Chains A and B, each alone.
Chain A
Amino acid sequence: MELLLEVDHLQIAFQTDQGELISVDEVSFELGSGETIAIVGESGCGKSVTSLSIMGLLGTSGSVIQGEIRFNGSILTDCTENQLRRLRGSEISMIFQEPMTSLNPVIPIGEQIAETVRLHQNKSRKEAKAIAVDMLRKVGIPRPEAIIKEYPHALSGGMRQRVMIAMALICKPKLLIADEPTTALDVTIQAQILELMKQLQQESGAAILLVTHDLGVVAEMADQVIVMYAGQVVETADVFTLFRAPQHPYTQGLMKSIPRLDQHKKEQLFAIPGAVPSLKEIPSGCRFHPRCPLAVGRCEEEQPELISAADGHRVRCWMAGNTEQIFVNHTVEVTV
């Protein structure tokens, strides 16, 4: 497997009224071509910011202040805006959560898709249109010849997301970044879109970076998983290892807090107490320690490194290796 994307000790900061906020800290991962890696975490953990930084889309207030992003031989963090523009949409493309806000409401769908082709592949209007129709058919849109003349509002949420996927994949990118691609959709439509993404990945061999909060979607799609908490990677492993033997108390807690359909016993759900800290008040030491049932004195003072627990399985926890059984009989009282 060929290495496609390398994120190396990434640190991202945003300038705000209250000064500089570090949104993402020490994030490193690698992605090979054809592989799917999922970044999972709760809101504010930095998963979207990480994915936006790869595209160079941090805006004016955000910047990479440390670390490197290497993609297919070039260093993205050193690229100029012009160089990045050439990559976006052709080599790397992105789909977002809400397709209605990322499609232009006053331009017909066909033109929006064809624009990408004409920009990157030097094709005529007519050729580009033919390619667009072809691509729409591939993503399962019925009557694509008629649909290209429609405006985004005329389509349902699922259809709009298909259009976004068509647009993202039309130049055969090597990397597709999908930021919560199915969160706004119904489960039935979510299943359709996930299946479509898998099928198109098999055909094109593109790598996928999937950003999601839904562990169900992760289990369905990912090869590798990165769990993020408060701007840091807390655990990373291949998907089977992570779900079979999660090591970090946060990962374990997350998994236990999802209702499962195959459990018959009616009992209370496990809930991680407290809430995700805001970036303004990141806890000292291990960032999870105020919510962690295992926290000891050391966790409060010293920040743990991401250490290797097993082959390819890395955890940021002082108790790594001793956390397996903690949540089995452990119940945390919810303040009621």
Chain B
Amino acid sequence: MTRPELIDNKPIQAKESDPPNKPLLLQIERLQTYYPVRNGVFSNTVSHIKAVDDVSLSMYEGETIGLVGESGCGKSTIGRSILRLENPRSGRIIFDNEDITHYTQRQLKPVRTRMQMIFQDPYASLNPKIRIFDALAEPLIVHKLAERREVQRKVDSLLQLVGLPRSASNRYPHEFSGGQRQRIGIARAILCRPKLIVCDEPVSALDVSIQAQILNLLQDLQDELKLTYLFISHGIGAVKQISSRIAVMYLGKIVEVAEAEELFRNPRHPYTQLLLSTYPAPDPTLRTNKKMIIRGDVPSPAHPPSGCRFHTRCPYVQERCLKEEPVISEGHHTVACHYPLTL
């Protein structure tokens, strides 16, 4: 997907969330990340879990891409591969005009100030024995982003930015509630003034009223610091709220990418349609007697089905879907389906 094509396919309605005006920040090309399955006395690799299998995605500066899918579909693996926390098997990751696919740890160090991650459970990602001040000061010192005497001031302003009191810096992680801990997680991610933040289920573990606070904070910070987010979540509501574009994943593949509004108005992949219809709306009058429900479970990513991977659960399955793997279409609203739905 290149930019001129995007413009060609979409001559009308230029919204501010439209990517073409903005420079490309991240490009993933045909990314494959496999996990080995080991077995036997000598732990031989017997097969692979194809967590991410041939995925391409472009991200433009300042946008938020929501990545949705069921658990085990590979959405977290994409996020981790981008940050090179996993080593891709093949494909390319171009971040900020640098091909970082094969960078060594030493080469990655300066890159990592520009890409950061927010995790689901901030308690697990904060060292329980380290005060918040030290947890926040360490990256500043390691990356030489602040003089020692400046550190205190920087940490204070950071805490203020994420809505925590200054006194927080002398406390330990266990003294905070889940929402506050997530604010600390966010503070740590924005500390190095990154361009890209991979948010991996940042609100899934939080209470409803706290989720809204964190989503709003992420949106405010995005405006203020010109951040680009890859927002990974299985919660469709949160993804809808924050994303400008949404990519839907199924079993290691991206099956549909579209602008958020467009995707909800006009889902073209049967999986997307079913996924959206299963979201229980907080409105009892919308309760239906017979909802569209996806039957069965997600197949194992070690042995994905032949042809289209969704064919085992697809209500519209045809002969061709069993044999031939669909290729993702080109253009503005892309879909990987032999028989995409129309309005």
Name the residue in B161, B179, B284, B285 with the highest tally of chain A Cβ atoms < 10 Å from its Cβ: B284
Q: How far is the CA of A159 from the CA of B297 in the complex (A)?
A: 9
Name the residue in B70, B212, B261 with the highest tally of chain A Cβ atoms < 10 Å from its Cβ: B212
From known contacts A188-B275, A334-B216, A334-B217, infer whether A260 and B282 are also in contact, taking CB-CB under 8 Å.
yes
- B269-303 interface code vs A (CB 8 A; 1 in, 0 out): 00000111011111111110001011101100000
Closest residue of chain B to A182 (Cβ to Cβ) is B280
A191 to B: closest C-beta gap in Å: 4
From known contacts A188-B274, A259-B241, A335-B163, infer whether A275 and B280 are also in contact, taking CB-CB under 8 Å.
no
From known contacts A269-B241, A334-B163, infer whether A191 and B280 are also in contact, taking CB-CB under 8 Å.
yes
A319-336, CB < 8 A from B: 334-336
Q: How far is the CA of A42 from the CA of B285 in the complex (A)?
A: 24
Query: CB of A292 within 8 A of chain B?
Result: no
Name the residue in A159, A192, A239 with the highest tally of chain B Cβ atoms < 10 Å from its Cβ: A192
Q: How far is the CA of A195 from the CA of B290 in the complex (A)?
A: 9
Closest residue of chain A to B282 (Cβ to Cβ) is A215
List the 3 closest A-B pairs by CB distance, nearest first: A216-B280, A259-B241, A257-B212
Closest residue of chain A to B287 (Cβ to Cβ) is A220
Query: CB of B3 within 8 A of chain A?
Result: no
Query: CB of B328 within 8 A of chain A?
Result: no
Binding site for A on B (CB under 8 A): 70-71, 161-163, 177, 179-180, 207-213, 215-217, 219-221, 234, 236-238, 240-241, 261, 264, 274-276, 278-287, 291, 293-295, 297-298
From known contacts A261-B236, A261-B240, infer whether A219 and B287 are also in contact, taking CB-CB under 8 Å.
yes
- Among A189, A240, A264, A276, contact of B297 (Cβ-Cβ < 8 Å): A189
List, in ascending order, chain B residues with CB within 8 A of A260's CB: 237, 281-282
Contact indicator A187/B279 (Cβ below 8 Å):
yes
Contact indicator B284/A187 (Cβ below 8 Å):
no
List, in ascending order, chain B residues with CB within 8 A of A29's CB: none
Name the residue in A194, A213, A268, A275 with the highest tally of chain B Cβ atoms < 10 Å from its Cβ: A275
List, in ascending order, chain A residues with CB within 8 A of B220's CB: 334, 336
Query: CB of A254 within 8 A of chain B?
Result: yes
Contact indicator B284/A254 (Cβ below 8 Å):
no
Closest residue of chain B to A256 (Cβ to Cβ) is B212
Query: CB of A190 within 8 A of chain B?
Result: yes
Contact indicator B219/A187 (Cβ below 8 Å):
no
A191-211, CB < 8 A from B: 191-192, 194-195
List, in ascending order, chain B residues with CB within 8 A of A268's CB: 216, 219
Binding site for B on A (CB under 8 A): 42-43, 156, 158-159, 186-192, 194-195, 213-220, 222, 239-240, 243, 253-255, 257-262, 264, 268-273, 275-276, 334-336
A17 to B: closest C-beta gap in Å: 16
Q: How far is the CA of A192 from the CA of B274 in the complex (A)?
A: 12
Contact indicator A219/B276 (Cβ below 8 Å):
no
List, in ascending order, chain B residues with CB within 8 A of A273's CB: 213
List, in ascending order, chain B residues with CB within 8 A of A190's CB: 278, 280
List, in ascending order, chain B residues with CB within 8 A of A253's CB: 209
List, in ascending order, chain A residues with CB within 8 A of B287's CB: 219-220
List, in ascending order, chain A residues with CB within 8 A of B211's CB: 257
Contact indicator B219/A186 (Cβ below 8 Å):
no
Closest residue of chain B to A194 (Cβ to Cβ) is B280
List, in ascending order, chain A residues with CB within 8 A of B162's CB: 336
Contact indicator A219/B283 (Cβ below 8 Å):
yes
Q: How far is the CA of A239 from the CA of B280 in the complex (A)?
A: 14
- Among A195, A259, A261, contact of B293 (Cβ-Cβ < 8 Å): A195
- Among A159, A195, A255, A336, contact of B291 (Cβ-Cβ < 8 Å): A195
List, in ascending order, chain A residues with CB within 8 A of B217's CB: 334, 336
From known contacts A195-B291, A195-B293, A336-B161, infer whether A187 and B234 are also in contact, taking CB-CB under 8 Å.
yes
Name the residue in A159, A188, A191, A219 with the highest tally of chain B Cβ atoms < 10 Å from its Cβ: A188
